[in-house]
Amino acid sequence: MPETILVTGGAGYVGSHVAVALVRAGYAPVVLDNYANSTPAVLPRLRALAGYAVPAVQADVRDAEALRTVFRDYPIAAVIHCAGLKAVGESEVRPLAYYDVNVGGAIVLAQVMGEAGVAGLVFSSSASVYGEPDALPIAEDAPLRPHSVYGRTKRVVEDFLCDLARANANWRIALLRYFNPAGADPSGLLGEAARGRPNNLVPLLGKIAAGELADLTVHGGDWPTADGTGVRDYLHVQDLAEGHVAALRYLAGARGALPINLGAGRGHSVLEIVAAFERACGRRIAKTIARRRPGDVAACYADATRAAQLLQWRTTRDLDAICADAWRWQQGGGRY
Ligand code: WQD
């Protein structure tokens, strides 16, 4: 019998790709989502792609009774917790919502997992916990100085999960620090369906190439980087999803809570991403170099050694694949 894995936020951008990767790895995912930042329209596509009727429950991860019902209805062996609010800019103007959902939701989930005796947890954390790095590439033992409310909520959850694991040795927790996920399933069936204007660079380029947005405002051309534009560690969302499966496998023989970077281990500048996207779509991306965006850092990319050594995981899809798959998703409408 395949192990049943609860994926909170499983109708979202990362969660839906994780659910497909789980089925392909022989697990039986159950999706839980409140559809606050996603839509049930993803489910038939997810099921078609996975070749399996993935069960889905509409519920809010802060609703303890709803979670208890899920743990009663399904033989949950472990949880992948993707549900949360993730817009950095929005977090600055809605701090209460971000602490309520991201921190409050994780507390309720851990409470119900404890009651159900389920100890395996893969938590969707973020490289934004690092803030401005002292050194590059960034290793997991780098100081945590998040710049944003969003990043601080992720650090609070990491701290509380580490305290939980110290108090009870049964817990097995992977804290996955995502760098910059991008791209989409090559089928064109799943992708990043942002509500309104996308926050992140790669989906923005798709909207500009499709003529839905006019041009790209490059946030800063005077950063201390090779071409003056911001450098980030972009990884394909499928690589990221497979990293969750690898973390689940690792937890089967682990104890405690461990942060693990999920990144390509190298950085690309904004201009390099624009050039790669132009190659993928065969169109020019109009751009204006403007002033820096508050809260941005010059460069941020992962030391991905721990994931390679402990999870036997590394990225396998390159920048051209990210842009080709993101463009294919956009050409299909870029929405559900
Ligand atoms: C990438 C680069 C921008 C838009 C954020 C979160 C992080 C994670 C990923 C959730 C930067 C530049 C962007 C634009 C630009 N989210 N840019 N013009 O800020 O690195 O990371 O999303 O986990 O936690 O912090 O991603 O895609 O916004 O920016 O020049 O219109 O593109 O300055 O250098 P970011 P991003």
Q: How do the pLDDT tens digits run along the chain, 336 residues long?
A: 999 999 999 999 999 999 999 999 999 999 999 999 999 999 999 999 999 999 999 999 999 999 999 999 999 999 999 999 999 989 999 999 999 999 999 999 999 999 999 999 999 999 999 999 999 999 999 999 999 999 999 999 999 999 999 999 999 999 999 999 999 999 999 999 977 889 899 999 999 999 999 999 999 999 999 999 999 999 999 999 999 999 999 999 999 999 999 999 999 999 999 999 999 999 999 999 999 998 899 999 999 999 999 999 999 999 999 999 999 999 999 999
Class for the domain spanning 4-183+234-263: alpha beta
Any ligand 1 atom below 6 A from CB of 218: yes
Tokens of 153: 């909520």
Alpha-carbon span 80 to 58, nearest angstrom? 16
Residue 235: the pLDDT is 98
- Active site residue: 13, 98, 150, 250, which one? 150
What is the DSSP secondary structure assignment for residue 214, as one 8-state letter? -
Task: Tell me which of 180, 204, 212, 289 to substitute to probe ligand 1's pocket, judged by most ligand atoms within 8 Å of the beta carbon.
Answer: 180
Task: Tell me which of 82, 85, 201, 270 to substitute to probe ligand 1's pocket, judged by most ligand atoms within 8 Å of the beta carbon.
Answer: 201
Q: Which residues have CB under 8 Å from 145's CB, separation 6+? A: 130, 131, 132
Any ligand 1 atom below 6 A from CB of 168: no
Domain ranges of the chain: 4-183+234-263
Instruction: Give the nearest ligand 1 atom to 202 CA.
Output: 27
Residue with CA at minimum distance from ligand 1 atom 23: 126
Cα radius of gyration (the chain): 19
Query: How far is the centre of ligand 1, averaged over its atoms, from the C-alpha of 234 (Å)?
Result: 10
